[in-house]
Structure formats: structure tokens, C-alpha cells
Structure 1
Amino acid sequence: MKKTKRIQQIIVLVLIAAAIASYFLVEPVKTTLDQIFSMFATGDFAVVKDFVESYGPYAMAVSALLMIFQSLMAPLPAFLITFANANLFGWWQGAILSWSSAMAGAALCFWLAKVLGREVVEKITSKTGLEQIDVFFEKYGKQSILIARLLPFMSFDIVSYAAGLTSMKFWPFFIATGIGQLPATIVYSYVGGMLTGGAKLFVTGLLILFALSVLVVMLRQIYQARQKTKSEKSNTVK
């Protein structure tokens, strides 16, 4: 088992080294990746839409690869791709594409973390970010993944990497991710299907409202849990 994992580590590290080398040595690769990073930096889904649309019949495949790429390169904003997909392919088709490709990205992050270990993952993501997710996992236990997927302000990608660093099995992680990610994907896709370039302020407000709503529910649950614990301790003392 250890030998197999070591072989996997070597293969992955060689592939990562090859990808980095191709960026610096192969001009088309560098140009395309620079364009992708600049595109995400704009924060404008219309720019992402134009990029995906430019690939014509391969647009869906390019969109799926973009979603997986942003998963690996945390914390690029996935919702821009979700909006673009809904605008290009219709809200329900865009939702299926966004959800399935995000699931593929999550699975890949989980597997990479299992293979590479914490030291490498910290360099790919963020040491502070991983530590914050560790605390979150410790607090919410078995429900951590489902809760994290329902919270729009939690980094989807870092959660996937962090889960791979625990003893968590793949299928519980994958199922919880699928269920937890579905509501946000549907909402973003439905809204994204109606968006025009001038609707960014509306979308920003919607996302903030959604995040605050979930936060209020979470805080209420935490408060109730603490009150229940205090009550149980008080009854025990009596």
C-alpha cells in the first residue's frame, strides 16, 4: 500500500513539474493560462462566457475543464463559470454541467490531498485556510462537509483538499458534497440564466444576502447547541 502511494506521489509530482515547465517553456500554454487568470481577475462572468463560447462545439468540454482547473487552483471563483454556463446553455443544462464538473474537481482535490499529504497541499492552497477548515471539521464532525457545502463563503476547493487530509472516506465525502452543493448551483444557475452584463450589482447583493441568511441559521444552531449543553450540565450538577 505504501509503495503504491509512493508511486502515485512520484507520478503526480512529475505531472505538476511538467505543467509548470510547460507554462514557462511553451508559449501557447503560457498565453492561454495568463488569459484564464486575467479572465477570473475581472470578476465579470460575461468575460468567462465569451471565452467559453469562443470554443464553439467544444464549449461544454472547455467549461468543465475550467471548473476542474479552478478547483485545483484555489481560490479562483467558481460562480463565474456557473453564471456563464447558465447564460450559454440555459439554466438547467448549465446547472448540470456546473454541478457535475465541480464534483469532478472536488474528487480530484480530495484524491490529490490523500496522495500528496499536508505539506504539499499547504503550498497549493493556504496553510491558514487549511487550519481554519481543520477547526471547522473538529467542531461539526460528521456533518462538516454537508454544512461547509451549504455555506457560500466557505472555500469549496480548500474544503475538498482539507477533507482529503483527514481519515474521511471518499464516498461519504462525495455524497455530502453532491447534496450540499446542489442548492447553491441551482440558485446561481437560475439567476445566471437571467443575467446581463449590467446585473453584477444585483448578483453581488444576492450572494451577500444568501451568505448572511445561512450564517444566521448557523449561528442560531450553534447558540441552541450551547444552550442545550449548559442545560445538560446544570441538570447533571443537580
Structure 2
Amino acid sequence: MAKKISYFVTAAIILGLVIAYFTYPPFGDFINESWDILLSKDEERIRDYFKSFGFWGPIAIVILMILQIFLVIFPSWLPMIVAVLAYGFIGGVLISVVGVFLASSLGYAIGRLLGEDNLAKVLGKKKNKKVNNMVEEYGFWAIALFRVSPFLSNDAISIIAGMLTMGYRKFILATLTGITPLAIAIGYFAEDPDTLKNGLYWIGGAGLVGYGIYVYVDYTNRKKQK
């Protein structure tokens, strides 16, 4: 019963956001205007825009982070930079972590709604079994890597984790493990675009190398034991 309720709530949220965008002009205007301002790269304009919402400013940023699930070309780290520019280091990091927590939970729920059968149809039964085994063995750190690397698809990994029925607690803990250092790094470097860009590359690269070493060492140890 609880499972069916969670599916219903997830579908209702998705449908509600889509309907609101096309039928409720203020909401549609907010999304369109926010999009234009975010892409302007004008830091002062971005900061002033979200601060103009007052109490609702942080909520507006979180909503954008949730909607980013459906906007593939929209960088997942951009709202995090906005949060820091508008509300400072501590406020920006907190908003970023909360936003990713909610967006990831929704993505995971969408994956559960779609189900593992649909993933098996796309990958095939053999590949699906291999992916399942990898998630079982390396899933926690794989998700943490996707979170800490700003150039990997955070939304895709949330949906896939849900489709593979990975435990939610394990999934969300891995998400927080990866996103927290990324949010802190973005908060620290956000005011210097050049430094931030280089920092994001270093963070993503270091995370990928670290994960590769971890998988290689673990695989070697397993092979020796066999």
C-alpha cells in the first residue's frame, strides 16, 4: 500500500509541475524568466533576482533544482552557484544540499515507478544482471562519485538507482556523501568563475581517478581470493 502511495505521489508531483507550467502563467513566467537570468551569467543580476523573492528565494532555487531533472541541458551545478551568490557560503551550501536531497529523492522515486523491467528491456537481461551486480558491489561509491563530479549525470544515476531497487537509505547516504564536498567547493570558489571552473574539473577528475583505483584494487583482491 505504501509503495502504491509513493508511486501516486511521485506521478502527481510530475504531472502537477508540467500542468502548472503550461496552464498557470505566473509559474510558467517564473521558470522562463529564471532560465533567461541564469543563462545571462550576470552575477549581480542573478543575486538580485533571487533575493527579490525574500523568504521564497531559497524555495525558488530548490524548485529549479528539482525541475532540472526534466531539463537535460540545464547544468545541475548552476543553481548551486546561484544559491551561494544570493545567500553566501553557509546559506548556499545548505540550500544546495537540501535541493539535491529532494531532487535525488524524486529521481529515485521516478526510477521505482518505472521499475527494473523497463531497464532490462533497454539493456537486455544479461547486461541488466551485470549492472545489478555492480550496483550491489560498488553502488554506494559509484553514486557518491556521480554526486561529487559536476560533469556526470546526477539525475540519471538517481533514476537508475531507483529502477534497480537499490535501498533508499544507502542511495541517499551516498548522495549526501558526494554532494556535500561538491557544495562546499562550489561555495568556496563561486565568486571567482575561472577558479571555480578549474576547481570543478579537478574535483571531477580526482573523484573519477579515485573511484577507478578503488574498483581496480577491489577487483584484484576478489580475483586473488578466488
State the TM bucket, normalised to the shorter chain: 0.7 to 0.9
Task: Select the residue among 176, 195, 205 that pairs with 1:202.
Answer: 195
Counting only pairs closer than 5 Å after superposition, residues 163-202 of structure 1 correspond to structure 2 as 163-192=161-190, 195=191, 199-202=192-195
Q: CA deviation at 1:160?
A: 1.4
Contact residue 149 and residue 181 of structure 1 kept, 8 A: yes
Runs of 5+ unmatched residues, structure 1 = 122-126, 234-238
Counting only pairs closer than 5 Å after superposition, residues 62-211 of structure 1 correspond to structure 2 as 62-71=60-69, 73-74=71-72, 76-117=74-115, 134=131, 137=135, 140-192=138-190, 195=191, 199-211=192-204
Q: CA deviation at 1:63?
A: 2.1
The 2-side partners of 1:190 and 1:9 are apart by: 38
Relative to structure 1, the CA distance from residue 103 to residue 6 in structure 2 (aligned partners, 3 Å threshold; closer, same or farther) is closer
The 2-side partners of 1:18 and 1:93 are apart by: 28
The 2-side partners of 1:48 and 1:137 are apart by: 39
Runs of 5+ unmatched residues, structure 2 = none
Q: Which one has the largest radius of gyration? A: 1
Q: What is aligned with 1:213?
A: 206
Contact residue 145 and residue 208 of structure 2 kept, 8 A: no
Task: Select the residue among 30, 39, 44 that pairs with 2:41.
Answer: 44
TM-score, length basis structure 2: 0.75
The 2-side partners of 1:8 and 1:225 are apart by: 36
Matched pairs, number: 216
- Cα RMSD over matched residues? 3.4
Identity %: 22
Relative to structure 1, the CA distance from residue 72 to residue 50 in structure 2 (aligned partners, 3 Å threshold; closer, same or farther) is farther
The 2-side partners of 1:51 and 1:119 are apart by: 44
Contact residue 112 and residue 165 of structure 2 kept, 8 A: no
